[in-house]
Amino acid sequence: AGQVVRNTYVYDSQFGSRVSQLTREETGLPTSVTQYLYDTQGRLLSYTVDGELVKLTHAGNTPVPDSISGGGVERSLKLAAGTAPREIVDQGVKAVFQYDAVGRVQALTQQGTTTRFTYDDANGILRRRLKVKEQVDQTGVLSHEEFRYDGAGRVIALTTAGGRSREFGYFADGALRELKVNGSVMRSVSRTQGGLVDQVGIPGFHWTLGAFDPRHGRPQLETLTLSPSSRTLVRQTTYDGSGRALTANLAGGAALYKYAYDGFG
């Protein structure tokens, strides 16, 4: 027999179109009961899911969780303006938020540590992307990060405390082309004119890919070059029409792998 789901509804006595209880029975799973409570205006005041109570407050017509309790969870929420949280207490741990005039988080304080956010505003344009992120406590600065962006809004440089830097280069579609750490290339990728990856490099290893299968673009020939030894390892691969490997052979007949698939692929 297949899986069966049965939902049973009970409607509110005062607001007849609103559900006061939903019982969900599903084959192989425990029965789940959700109960809903409304205020005198018919707005959802709270709901209970299998013993976990969620109380709501309303920012205009938008219901926002005010507290969650039961089932081993204790969480409360206070709002600053609209639906933005000013204070969250989760399992006894308090997080306090501060905002700027346009509603962006300026600071988050939790367990004695404050994280400060500075945004990449320029020429009168307000942005959500970060320029500086800094974490401090009573002992001083714990971490400091500075971000730079390209014209498309992608991070091209990240500098952390102590001057450690990371630089990022991208292809036109946004995929990562190059990663540098403190000026040294940690990863580089090149593509064919058709957009297929034909070279990948990381320190000590360089892969060259070629003889792409025209059906799905998978490489049939892969060469791994090790440095500084310049030792190479060559692998030839054949595929089926779905792009799944059928055979893989290492140069020199060192090994031959054959693959078969079940109905799940």
Give the pLDDT mean for 122-140.
91
Give the model's pLDDT for residue 149.
94
In a domain, 50, yes or no: no
Give the model's pLDDT for residue 126.
87
Give the model's pLDDT for residue 246.
94
In a domain, 178, yes or no: no
pLDDT grade, residue 244 (50/70/90)? very high
Q: Quick one: tokens of 9? A: 């509804």
CB 132 within 8 A of CB 146: yes
Instruction: Indicate the average pLDDT of the chain.
Output: 92
pLDDT in tens, 72-115: 888 898 887 677 888 999 989 999 999 998 889 999 999 999 99
CB 109 within 8 A of CB 96: yes
Give the model's pLDDT for residue 132.
97
Give the pLDDT mean for 204-217.
95
CA R_g for the chain: 28
Structural domain of 258: 194-265
CA gap 36, 20 in Å, rounded:
5
In a domain, 242, yes or no: yes
In a domain, 247, yes or no: yes
In a domain, 265, yes or no: yes
Q: Quick one: tokens of 46? A: 């709270």
In a domain, 30, yes or no: no
In a domain, 208, yes or no: yes
Count the domains in the chain: 1
User: Is the predicted pLDDT of residue 33 greater than 70, yes or no?
Assistant: yes
Give the model's pLDDT for residue 2.
66
Least confident of 72-86, 111-125, 191-205: 72-86
Give the model's pLDDT for residue 83.
75
pLDDT grade, residue 1 (50/70/90)? low
Give the model's pLDDT for residue 212.
96
pLDDT grade, residue 146 (50/70/90)? very high
CB 236 within 8 A of CB 251: yes
Give the model's pLDDT for residue 167.
98
Give the model's pLDDT for residue 11.
96
CA gap 35, 261 in Å, rounded:
47
In a domain, 9, yes or no: no
